[in-house]
A and B are shown apart, each in its own frame.
Chain A
Amino acid sequence: MRREAPKSFADYTPLLFPGVMLVVFFVVPFSTMIAVSFFKRNPAGFYTPDFVIDNYARFLTTFFAGVLGFSLMLAVLVAVCCVSIAFPFTYLLTKRSRRVQTLWLVGLLSVLSLSEVIIGFAWSTLFSQTAGITNLFVALGLMDKPVALLPTFGAVLAGMIYQALPYTILVLYPALVRLDPTLLEAARTLGASPVKAFFNVVTPALRNTIVATLIMVFVFALGSYLLPQILGRPRHWTLSVLITDQAIYQSNMPFAAAMAVFLVLISLALVGLTLLVGRRENAL
Chain B
Amino acid sequence: MTATFLRRLYFTIVALFLAAPLIVVAGVSVNARQELTFPPKGFSLAWYGQIFADPEWRLALIHSVTLAVCSAAIAVAIALPLAWFLWRRIAPWANIFQVLGLAPFILPPVITALGFLTFWATVGLFGQFFTAIISHAIFFVTLPLVTLSLGFASIDRSLVEAAATMGADDRTVLKTVVLPLILPYLVSGYAFAFVLSLNEYIVAYMTIGFTTETLPIKIFNALRYGYTPTMASVSVFFVAVAALVFGSIAKFGDIRRLLGAMSSEGN
Q: Which residues of A contact B38 (CB under 8 A)?
A: 125, 130-132, 135
Q: Do B161 and A1 have beta carbons less than 8 Å apart?
A: yes
B239 engages A131 (CB within 8 Å): no
Once bound together, how far apart are the Cα atoms of A243 and B112, in whole Å? 12
Nearest residue (CB) in B for A103 is B250
B175 CB, min distance to chain A CBs, angstroms: 13
Main secondary structure of the interface of A (DSSP, over half): helix
- CB neighbours (8 Å) of A243 from chain B are 110-111, 114
B243/A260 in contact, CB under 8 A: no
* Option from A23, A33, A113, A135 in Cβ contact (under 8 Å) with B196: A113
B53 within 8 Å of A (CB atoms)? no
**Interface flag for A219 (CB, 8 Å):** yes
Is B114 in contact with A92, judged by CB distance below 8 angstroms? no
* Chain A 26-40 interface 0/1 with B at a Cβ cutoff of 8 Å (1 = within): 111110110010000
Contact of B90 (CB < 8 Å), options: A3, A98, A101: A3
Q: Can you list, as one digit per residue, whether each of B247-263 has a CB less than 8 Å from chain A (1) or not (0)?
A: 10010000110011111
Scan B121-149; emit 1 where CB is below 8 A from any A CB, else 0. 11000000000001101100100000000
Chain B residues whose CB sits within 8 angstroms of the CB of A25 once the complex forms: 119, 134-135, 137-138
The count of residues in chain B whose C-beta lies closer than 8 Å to any C-beta of chain A is 99
Q: Which residue of B lies closest to A98 (CB)?
A: B256
Residues of B within 8 A of A225 (CB): 108-110, 202
Instruction: Give bound CA distance, A212 to B266, whole Å.
Output: 10
A190-244 interface (Cβ within 8 A of B): 194-195, 209, 212, 216, 219, 222-223, 225-226, 230, 240, 243-244
A105 and B255 contact, CB distance less than 8 A: yes
Asked if B184 lies at the interface with its beta carbon under 8 angstroms from chain A, I say no
Cross-chain pair count, CB within 8 angstroms: 283
CA distance A42 to B164 in the complex (A): 61
Smallest beta-carbon distance B184→chain A, Å: 15
Interface residues of B in 30-59 (CB under 8 A from A): 35-38
Indicate which residue in B15, B20, B199, B232 contacts A114 across the interface (CB closer than 8 Å): B199
User: Can you list 5 A-B pairs with a CB-CB distance of less than 8 A?
Assistant: A107-B243, A118-B219, A126-B20, A126-B21, A274-B267
Chain B interfacial positions (CB closer than 8 Å to A): 3, 7, 10-11, 14-15, 17-18, 20-22, 24-25, 27-28, 35-38, 74, 77-79, 81-82, 84-85, 87-91, 94, 97, 100-101, 103-104, 106-111, 113-119, 121-122, 134-135, 137-138, 141, 157, 160-161, 163-164, 170, 173, 195-196, 199-202, 205-206, 209, 216-217, 219-220, 223, 231-232, 235, 238-239, 242-243, 246-247, 250, 255-256, 259-264, 266-267
